[in-house]
């Protein structure tokens, strides 16, 4: 996995669309500079999830951007996505790594909100870590806040890339500079923006 692919990591959020077309919003974000896309769907049937993933894969392929599927290994395989992202309560990490990389050569991202969890994720073969929530977020209401100091300690405790996640917007993204991050994982901060293209462009060009 190219570390640069994590610079601006879009996590899809249907609730932020404000009546706009999902794929048009994602394409505007890709045009603005998004470097990786994660399809996160918690309420779709397997059939509808697969159809959406296949269509999104064609779009990300057009812009040469990796597609990551959240917490559904079968759909990641079915649509030809470049990888899978799992949380601490999702698919067993060791089993996911063995199947994802050894058998299929795909990217594995793991959520980790502490040094111990981050070190375990690296030990078990994660390619990158998502840490947060760094700001209040409506996407995951049960996410506990992570201090900037804790986030910096996580980035210093592992050799694999770490991206910040949770409530990141163009108004607060600059506060994450200097923490050793490889990128920002942004959801409604991009998909709910009035100007998706310009928002993505700003975040992509922000020096971390």
How many independent structural domains does the chain possess? 1
Model confidence at 50, pLDDT cuts 50, 70, 90, reads very high
> pLDDT value at position 1?
74
- 170: domain CATH number is 3.20.20.70
Parallel, antiparallel, or unpaired: how do β-strands 162-165 and 183-186 relate?
parallel
Q: Which domain holds residue 89?
A: 3-205
C-beta separation of 183 from 166 below 8 A: no
Q: What percent of the chain has pLDDT over 90?
A: 79
Give the number of residues written for the chain: 208
Q: What is the pLDDT of residues 82-130, one digit of tens each?
A: 999 998 776 667 677 777 766 677 899 999 999 999 999 998 889 999 9
Position 140 scores a pLDDT of 59
Distance between CA atoms of residues 144 and 172, nearest Å: 18
Three-state secondary structure readout of 119-182:
HHHHHCCCCEEEEECCCCCCCCCCCCCCCHHHHHHHHHHCCCCEEEECCCCCCCHHHHCCCCCC
Structure confidence by residue, pLDDT tens digits, 167-204: 999 999 999 999 999 999 999 999 999 999 999 999 99
Residue 134 confidence (pLDDT) above 60: yes
| Rounded (5°) CA angle 104-107-112 | 135
Q: Which two tokens stand for residue 17?
A: 């669309």
Read off the tokens for 90: 């999702």
Condensed to tens digits (0 to 9), the pLDDT of residues 25-34 reads 999 999 999 9
Whether 42 shows a pLDDT value over 90: the answer reads no
Residue 208 pLDDT > 80: yes
Cα angle for residues 41, 87, 8 (degrees, 5° grid): 70
pLDDT reported for residue 88: 77
More confident position, 138 or 160: 160
Instruction: Evaluate whether 53 touches 45 at the Cβ level (below 8 Å).
Output: no
Using H for helix, E for strand and C for coil, what is the string for 93-127?
HHHHHHHHHHHCCCEEEEECCCHHHHHHHHHCCCC
**What pLDDT does 142 receive?**
61
């Amino acid at each position: 996995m190219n570390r640069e692919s994590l610079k601006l990591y879009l996590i899809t959020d249907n609730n932020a669309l404000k009546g706009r077309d999902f794929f048009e919003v994602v394409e505007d974000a890709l045009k603005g500079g998004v470097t990786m896309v994660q399809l996160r769907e918690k309420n779709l049937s397997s059939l509808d999830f697969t159809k959406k993933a296949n269509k999104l894969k064609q779009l990300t392929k057009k812009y040469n951007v990796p597609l990551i599927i959240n917490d559904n290994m079968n759909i990641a395989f079915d649509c030809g996505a470049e990888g899978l992202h799992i949380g601490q309560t999702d698919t067993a990490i060791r089993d996911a790594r063995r199947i994802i990389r050894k058998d299929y050569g795909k990217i594995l991202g793991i959520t980790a909100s502490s040094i111990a969890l981050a070190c375990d994720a690296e030990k078990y073969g994660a390619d990158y870590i998502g840490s947060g929530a760094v700001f209040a977020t409506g996407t995951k209401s049960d996410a506990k806040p992570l201090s900037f100091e804790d986030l910096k300690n996580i980035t210093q405790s592992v050799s694999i890339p770490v991206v910040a996640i949770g409530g990141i917007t163009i108004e607060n993204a600059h506060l994450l500079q200097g923490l050793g991050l490889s990128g920002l994982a942004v959801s409604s901060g991009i998909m709910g923006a009035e100007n998706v293209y310009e928002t993505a462009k700003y975040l992509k060009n922000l020096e971390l």
